[in-house]
Amino acid sequence: MWRYILKRLLQAVICILGVSVIVFVLARLTGDPALVMLGPGARLEDILALRQKWGLDLPMIVQYWRFISNAVHGDLGLSLRYHAPVMALWLGRLPNTLLLAGVSFAIATVAGVVGGVIAAVKPGSWFDRLGKTVSFLGISVPVFLTAIVLIIIFAVKLHWLPVYGTGTWRHLIMPAFTLAWASSAGQLRLTRSAMLDVLDAEYIKLARVKGVPEYKVIAKHALKNALIPIVTMAALQFMVLFSGTVIIEFIFAWPGIGWLAVEGARNRDFPVVQACALMTSVLFIAINLAVDMLYAYIDPRIRYQ
Amino acid sequence: MKSVEQKISSGNVLEVKDLKTYFFTGRGVVKAVDGVSFELKEGETLGLVGESGCGKTITCLSILRLVPGPAGRIVGGEVILDGDDLLSKSEKAMRRIRGKKVSMILQDPMVSLNPVFTIGNQMAEPVRIHQKLSRRLVWEKVKEMLRLMSIPSPEIRIREYPHQMSGGMRQRVVGGIALSCQPRLLIADEPTTSLDVTIQAQYLRLLKEVQQKENLAMIMVTHDLGIVAKVCDRVAVMYAGKIVECGDVREIFYRPAHPYTKALLGSLPKMEERQEKLYTIEGQPPELHALPPGCSFAPRCPDVQEICKQEYPPQSIIKDGHCTSCWLFAARKA
Ligand SMILES: Nc1ncnc2c1ncn2[C@@H]1O[C@H](COP(=O)(O)OP(=O)(O)OP(=O)(O)O)[C@@H](O)[C@H]1O
Ligand SMILES: [Mg+2]
């Protein structure tokens, strides 16, 4: 068990280091920040002075070392535009994104798992067919289209919901629903097929032979066995959803990380882009680590490896 | 009152009458169980034998009303347990019977334990469901069952998971689960096929011991006639969804009537002969969704007659308790 945890932790650290290298290199490939900052009419001395100030004249390896050791201390540099620490900017926006992603994720997961289980218990029923149609649409319709259609119907025509912005739960409905629909579809399909597999197993028959009530056969014996693919899918969906917030936040003017990243890219504010990429990756790696721990909790065969 | 008297007078734990279980599939109706009848007394062991796919497992599952749906359905007959017809019971009433009055050991014990729950948890389940016992007594009962099945150090075993146990151990656990609520009837569906021979013999001895102690009625499904000879009192030979011959073990082994039974016995390798060739039955068992009219064994039968291909033979009694369905023994119709 401890070996398993230690191994996963080590893998996570290596992963973060790898990501930091990629982010560092990519940020430097987009052009000389000093040039960008000062504009086309800048004088050479100014450019050189700025480069020296930011350490851009040092060898790459030294620059990377500075970057990573600062990052470990929570310092990812200053935003070129806001002249504020980007870490603070990122953390300031994080709650908004977490709220949007969290609510969408909760809706998507509950709807996907419950719907998938019901569909698997009665394959071929009207519910199963409805679920199939709804999830097919959810997967194939792009989120921006859903968003625009929703805005037109519920905000522009009916005036039931605000078009964009944040503040009340009513602001949350359309963006959360848009994201949830797209990601519940995958969870529904996966849960259905995982449950169908498990329900065929001999141990399910044995549970019935023992006289276990049907709801318990499904909720205890079958669901726990289907949980590994379900949890994997949930984690994957959370990450897809988190990335999806980039578009949704932009459409609904939701002041989260996604929007911060888009603004950063448009303003060529490279420390902001760099921080968003790095921190989001760290978040994803942390989620993966948590999922690995969850596997061990669910399945004793992993725990006793 | 009358029904109570009947219960006592018949003395049968189980009576299966003209049971029919069909699968309604895209390729047609599969008559997996097609008019099966037999009875079983207290303490008696019935061997149910026949080639793969002849409907043994489905017969057993039909008794418990656990035929795999939605394609499979019991379409007719009666299953009478201690005088009560199980086929007319509600699903809720059936749940109180499963695991309590009737238990079953499934065909593949290696995969019939749930990998994500402890042995203790899975053994305690039927006890908790069917007996009103305190937590402590439930665990006592579980340990008692493990001891009954000769599993060493039960205190440690109850906290283990199936993958930590050997096949033989797992099989004993499954046996323990089946016996934990003092059933009237135990159905063992090829309980030893996935075990090696020594463990197989041990396990059968164990089952037999418990059966005699508790005076259980038992159905032993197998295609191993060696096992039948060791543990069964009576044998029912099944072919293509029907019982073609039924009788005492001795009768069946020494005076088999039906050509299929003879063929089955002939395919059994004998110890005294040098095993130069392994007997097999010519031909394939028929496809159950497209059975020929008449006797299903006719295409493979060495003693086939014209009438065999036209009409299914009626049951003839050869001796008390020894019946067969074969035209060789039926009074020929004019
Ligand atoms: N779910 C199902 N759908 C359709 N047909 C089925 C289904 N389950 C079983 N059958 C049919 O019922 C017949 C009897 O199956 P059963 O499992 O009872 O055979 P068996 O005698 O137990 O064989 P084995 O010795 O291989 O266990 C088979 O021929 C099979 O084709
Ligand atoms: Mg079988």
Mean pLDDT value of segment A242-246: 82
Contact list in A for residue B112 (CB cut-off 8 A) is 202-203, 205-206
Answer yes or no: is B155 within a domain: no
Answer yes or no: is B175 within a domain: no
Residue bearing tokens 């061997």: B47
Both tokens of B330, joined, read 């039926």
Of B100, B108, B114, which is closest to A211 when you measure between CB atoms? B100
- Ligand 1 and B28: CB distance under 6 A: no
Whether residue B103 has pLDDT greater than 90: yes
Q: How distant is the alpha carbon of residue B5 from its chain centre?
A: 28
Whether residue B274 has pLDDT greater than 50: no
Answer yes or no: is B31 within a domain: yes
Q: Which domain holds residue B257?
A: 4-101+183-333
B50 Cβ contact partners less than 8 Å away, ≥ 6 residues apart = B56, B223, B237, B238, B239, B264
A118 CA to centre of ligand 2 in angstroms: 29
Cα gap A257→A284, rounded to integer Å: 14
Whether residue B40 has pLDDT greater than 90: yes
| Greater model confidence, A241 or B249 | B249
- Please give the pLDDT value at position B275: 45
Answer yes or no: is B157 within a domain: no
Residue A31 gets which letter from DSSP? -
pLDDT digits (tens, 9 = 90+) for B190-248: 888 777 778 888 888 888 988 988 889 999 998 888 889 989 999 999 999 999 999 99
Structural domains in chain A, sorted by start: 2-72 (no CATH), 93-304 (1.10.3720.10)
Answer yes or no: is B9 within a domain: yes
CB B221 within 8 A of CB B188: yes
pLDDT digits (tens, 9 = 90+) for A171-228: 888 888 888 988 898 899 999 999 999 999 999 999 999 999 999 999 999 999 999 8
Q: What torsion do the CA atoms of B194, B197, B198, B200 make, to the nearest 10 degrees?
A: 50
For chain A, what is the mean pLDDT? 87
Chain B residue with CA closest to A206: the answer is B112
Cα gap A267→B258, rounded to integer Å: 91
β-pair partners for B218: B45, B186
Give ipTM to 2 decimals. 0.86
CATH number assigned to the domain comprising residue B198: 3.40.50.300
Strands B242-248 and B322-325: antiparallel
Domain count within chain B? 1
pLDDT digits (tens, 9 = 90+) for A145-169: 888 898 888 888 888 888 777 778 8
pLDDT digits (tens, 9 = 90+) for A20-79: 898 888 877 766 777 777 777 778 888 888 788 777 778 888 888 888 888 888 888 888
- Interface of chain B toward chain A, CB-CB under 8 angstroms: 64, 66, 70, 95-100, 103-104, 106-108, 111-117, 125-126, 129-130, 161, 163-164, 174, 177
pLDDT digits (tens, 9 = 90+) for A1-27: 788 888 889 999 999 999 989 888 887
CB A257 within 8 A of CB A95: no
Q: What percent of chain A has pLDDT above 70?
A: 99
Both tokens of A265, joined, read 């890219």
Q: How distant is the alpha carbon of residue A280 from its chain centre?
A: 8
Answer yes or no: is B22 within a domain: yes
What angle do helix axes A86-121 and A169-199 make, rounded to 10 degrees?
A: 50
* CA nearest neighbour of A199 among A107, A121, A94: A121
